[in-house]
Each structure stands twice: as structure tokens, then as C-alpha cells.
A and B are shown apart, each in its own frame.
Chain A
């Protein structure tokens, strides 16, 4: 009975859940979200600064990939962020909310830094590098396995636990930097001895990090999708009861997965300290332990998609940073821009899962 007069108090639209959506359409929605985000950012920049938004975006791209050096720097940052994202992925897939990547990376970096400061004189580089590698992996793994052990055996809540472990790691590094600072009391440690830096391939300082992370990405993809451990992680994450029902040892899986997660964080720490910064400070990780969580979620825990999401985030950060220097704005402005864009990227997931049914459209359907 479509001819009955519709009353005005009928809602303008209502929300309906989508059953499933073709992958292409989902990606179109995501692309549209980024475009809209860029328009909003452009308008905002124009209103606040009076600059032409085209110029603003041009300098954004310029800032991210304008020169060869910048491209390499971008890839390097991408590699580190991706590495940490990969590290948190198995834990998150298991629904173990490991927000302690920041601390796990930092403690891995501290282990590497300590090795280079105290062992460089006594060990040849060929021995030192593997020793450093083992030390960072162990340090990261230990930092992650402590909350995992408590979770597995006494069901403690991992979220505050891993968060607190971050502060302990940060304070340990601060203390270390203070004790070994040069000049004494400055709180800064000098550059690590050159013999302990990770080797360079050819003359390129960046390529080793990138290769290592590429291998980890591929390995993680295989591990999660085709390995029996990866399968167990999915089952435990989806339903602990099902896992118990088919006889998976849930405690063992939790501990094993967090060892892996922490170990990769440790590698990230090594890459960051001995492969990139060549020194350590309490802010070396710079929030990437948290950004990584977002990268991992946005990619729906798929390591290959993660390359793209990590790229978007790093690109935005670099570009936004350039805007603020170019136009004489302070760094908060670049954070505003990044914030807006990420808001749109995350917000568009709503439109992928739900659709709005409008009043007029609905009537057309009912005829």
C-alpha cells in the first residue's frame, strides 16, 4: 500500500547492517574516505592559514617523497613501523591486548645498546652482531612473556599489565642514559661505537632494515595463514572454549605467541638502535608501539595489507610534518591533519559494515 500518505515523523533514515560487501566496493569506500579527509584538511588549512590547499598538498607530497633521500627515509620509517605492527599482530589476533610493544621494542633496543657499549671492544663484529641480535630478541621476549605468563596462569588483565611494563622499560632506559651519559649528568649517551652498527649493503644505509622487515612480513603471513601455530592462534582468539574443546593447550599458545610477539619487538628495537639511530634515549620508540596497533587493526591483521596501512600512516606523518615547517605552523597542526585523516579512515569502516536507508529511497524500493 504505497499510496498511503507517509507521515512526517517517520525517521529520515535508518541504519541497516550490510550482509557482506564486495572487496572492490569496500576499497572504493576507503578511497572515498581518504579523498574526503583530504578535502576537509584542505579547507581547514585554507581557513586557518589562508594558503592554497593545492600548495599545501603539493608540499605534503614533497615532504614525504620529494627527494631520493626522503623516499629512503620514508621507507626506513615504514619498515620500523611495519615491523612493530607485525610484532603485535599475532597477539591481537589471539585477542591478547598487548599494548606493551613500546616497552618491548625499547627494552630490545636497550639490550642492543648495552651490548654495543660493553662488548664492541672484546668481540669481533661478526660475533658481536649475532650476540646483539640474540640479546634484543631475548629482552623483547622476556618483556612480553611476563604479562603472558600471568594471564595464562592467573587470568590477570593484560592491558594494564603490558601498559605498566612500558613505563618500567622507559624508566630503565632513562636511568641507563643517565648513568652512562656523556658529559656526565646530561642524560644523553654518545653515539654507539661504529663497529657495532648494523652493516650496510652497498653504500645504502637503509636497505638492510627494509630487507629484514620484508622477510618478517612474508614469514608472518605464512605463519598466520598456513602454519599450525597460526591456526591455533586464530582458534584461541575467536573462542577459548572451542580451543579447550578440541584440546588446544591455551596457556601454552598464549605464552608461545607472546614470546614471538616480544621477540619481533626486540628485533625492531635492534633495527631502531643499531640500524637507524645509533644511540638510545627514552623516547627512541616515539609512540610507534601504539601507532602499530592501529596499523595492525586497519589491515585486519593481514601482514600484506599492513604494508599499505603502514605506508599511509608514515606518509601522512611525513607530509603533515612538512606542512607545518613550510608554512610556519607548529607541529600541533600536522597532528591535527593526521588526526582528521585517520578519523576518516577508521570512520569509513562504519559505512563498510552498515548502510543508511533513506526515506525516499525506501519508498522507491517498496513499490
Chain B
């Protein structure tokens, strides 16, 4: 092939303290090609891309651009080499319009001439088929629109090499299709595109080549046409593992939690939950699907006693006393005092479920430290429990006294889930419990949830991976913009059905 290499990485190594994030990674991307960088979370994909875009500097190794060695010390250097990165978390100014965000920071004579610049931006949009209202402010935009702004921003700066870090994580299936169409058009235009992802189906659908990383090491590059999902999974995880999640039939389900017409208006006056009613039975996993930010967090937090409601009731049927308690407007302590054994694995592990700077023992103690009349803390039992969780769940840590923030995402989650199920709950709520986890840890979490289900716990599972929701849950409720758009039987529903429900009621793309 007479293709020209746009960027070539040779033996790139980068470590953070003792952790080697990238070891001897070699990559080549040709012009007019889409390369997927595939790897589990923590395999060093983002670190590698950050070195190309000048955020980190490699400890050793070389980067060649257009055949010449390049030294990328800062994002500005990356820019001069025509490399543009679209980060997972957008870096936009909320109160500025799309055009203003695109022009911001440019040293171009036209930068104050919004009209002339808008024309130029419009041309780019037409060329690649973006649909965007340029005068719209960022805070009024949907996630997909914000992403579009980010992409146009780097194109406007003349980028020839585009890096997209998990671009589809926040998009609906329909929006993903749109994005892929745009990316293909850019490829045909001769741009080199690198997309970071861990979704196999997207890799297969979009890319020409796939480079696989495993635990910071470079495994190899294959042509997409010559491989399949199983082979790629094997490369990613090193061994073939079954993608099947076991699912048992719920055993004598009884009504455990009954949500009746709850509505919630947040501090900004936005209705985040609107007239939501559903019931969760014991011994089932009740899935909740929806685009991120459709009210999932508020829903779980209102059940946990962290969110004030404007109307409705949350009824809990206590299996021991056969009494029904209304949990609405109760604090977490009051809920516990009622004898409701409610466990909650929140979405924001280190910001809400755990304290990063505390060690494992002190984090385990969060739930139980108040026990006992003594004014002093009792660390013996929490320590035993911590050691038990470390052993049972295989938490990789130097010891029980290691600060949580030093652990990897998967191990942090094991500690959190371990603590929450240690109190033998009757209701277990888990929000995105496998987000950022590698495959093995994810399966461990699925198994733990299944174990709880078999014990007769009512499990509420908020997830983003539709395949997992369909395989793990018994029923799936789809919410969109704070409203229920449908409840499906997970055994018969399809991904397309859920995808459509997720965008119903004007959610997502407006």
C-alpha cells in the first residue's frame, strides 16, 4: 500500500510512580484511516492519547509525524503538528455560543469577526455534514451537540489527526450512528482518526484497523476485516471468557418497594423527575436505562433519603414486620432507624460512596461507626470486615490501611459494593456499578448482584450498557427527561426498543 503514515509511535513508555501506564507501545496511523484503540479501562489508552496531544510527556520512546521525529511538550505543540483531541469530558465555556467556543484562544486576525468566522465554520459543517445551530449557547445544548462543537473546534484549527476519547459513551444509539457517518466522511477526506473505545460492536462497525492495549502493554494491531468480536475480546483480556451472564428466574417475588407518583424539581427550578411510579419486587433485578442525566441519580437519591421530593410517596414493605413505611422526606439515618436495610452504591464512588483519602478500614467504617455508646471509634470489627472483603472479592491492595484513592477503579468499586452488601440489605441500589471497570471486575459485580437477587433482595440496577441490562435484569424501566417512557421485559426486549424509548418525550436530541 502506498499509504502515508500520519503519525507513528515507537516504544512509548510512561509511568506514574510505580504504575506503568504504557510500556513500549508502537502504533502507526495512516492518512485516510480510522484506527480504534481498544482496551479495557486502565489499559493505558487515555494516557497514550494524552501523550500524543501534549498533556503528558513520555518517559521514553519517539513520536514521528509525517515521517519526522516530533517533540510534543504541550497541547500547543500538538496543535502545531495539527493534532486535535476531543476529550471525554468536554472543555467548553458554558455561557458562550458554539462559534465563540470554536474561536476562543485562536491567534487569528479574524477571531473578533464573528460573522466572517461563522461563514468559515459553516463551510466545515457543510463539508462533513454536521447539524448545529452556531449561535446556540453551550448550556442549552445536548451532550451530542457539545461533542459536535468540540469536533468542529479542532477541525477549524486545521487538525489532520483527530483523537476521540470514548466519543460514544454519552450518546444514544441514534446519535452514535450520526457521529460515525461524520467520522467516515472525514476519513474519506484524508484525515487520520484515532478513536478510543471499549465497545466492540463500534470497533467492528467503524474502524479500518484496531490496536489493542492490555494493562499498558501493546498487544498488536489487526485489520478490522480480518477479525471478529471474539478474537478482539481475547486480545483484550488475554483469555477467552464467556460473555454470558447467568440469569435465574425470580423466586417467590413479593412487593418490596413501591414508588408512587414522585416528582422532583431541583434548585434551578428544572423538573428532574415527573410523576414516576413503579414497584420493585424481592428477588428481581430491576434495571433502569436512560441517557445519562435523565433523572436516574435523583430517583435513587430520593429513595436513599438524599433528595427532597415535591410530591409522591416511597413505600417500603418490611418483610420482617409486614409493615409499610413511607420513606419520603426521611433522612438516611431515619430510614435506617425504621429498620429499612437499604444499601446504595452511588454513581460517584469517591465523591459520594467513599472518601478517597481515608484507608479501607475507615471507609468500611462509614456505615457502622456510630454503633455503640462509646465516644471513641471501634476499629476492630471494621478491620476484620475490610480484610474479609479484600479476601472474598480479591481486592488488589498493599493492605487494609492503604488510602482508597491509591487503588484502581475496579478495586475501589469492590470495596464499595462489598461494604454495601455486608449489611445484608433488603433493597440494593447500584448506579453504574461497572462504569470504568475491566471485564473481570464487571463480572464479579454482576455475580454479586445475582447473589443478592437469589437471596431475595430487591436489586435496582442503573446501567448504561444496554447489552448488560438486557442480559442481567428481569425488567427494565426506561426513563427519558425524568419521565418513564416504558417498562420492558428484559427477556424479550431488544436494544433498538430501548434506544428508541431513551429518546422519547423529546429527550436527547431536540
Contact = CB atoms under 8 A, between A and B. Distances in A.
Nearest to A18: B17
Contacts of B355: 234-235, 238-239, 242
Given A20-B17, A228-B376, A239-B352, A246 B366 contact: yes
B19 A246 contact: no
A159 interface: no
A256 to B, nearest CB: 13
Nearest to A230: B377
B432 interface: no
Interface residues of B, number: 44
A239 B71 CA distance: 40
Contact of A247 (B331, B362, B365): B331
Contacts of A4: 62, 69
A181 to B, nearest CB: 46
B57 A366 contact: no
B336 A231 contact: no
A215 interface: no
B369 A231 contact: yes
Given A228-B370, A239-B355, 17 more contacts: A1-B11, A7-B69, A9-B71, A11-B73, A227-B376, A234-B358, A235-B358, A238-B355, A242-B353, A244-B332, A245-B304, A245-B306, A245-B332, A246-B366, A247-B333, A362-B60, A366-B59
B506 to A, nearest CB: 30
Contact of A17 (B16, B306, B352, B356): B16
B59 A239 contact: no
A38 B277 CA distance: 71
B335 to A, nearest CB: 8
Contact of A238 (B61, B62, B346, B356): B356
Nearest to B59: A362
Interface residues of A, number: 33
Contacts of A154: none
Given A231-B365, A365-B60, A19 B354 contact: no
Give chain A's interface secondary structure class.
Answer: mixed
A81 to B, nearest CB: 27
A238 B305 CA distance: 21
B494 interface: no
A279 B73 CA distance: 61
B344 interface: yes
Nearest to A14: B57
Interface of B: 10-11, 13, 16-19, 57, 59-62, 69, 71, 73, 304-306, 331-333, 336, 344, 346, 348, 350-358, 362, 365-367, 369-370, 375-377, 406
B351 A242 contact: yes
Interface in A317-343: none
Contacts of B71: 7, 9-11
Nearest to A238: B355
B369 A241 contact: no
Contacts of A9: 71
A213 to B, nearest CB: 23
A247 B336 contact: yes
A185 B355 CA distance: 57
A231 B69 contact: no
A247 B18 CA distance: 37
Interface in A20-61: 20
B17 A17 contact: yes
Contacts of B19: 19
Contact of B352 (A20, A227, A242, A362): A242
Given A7-B71, A19-B16, A247 B57 contact: no
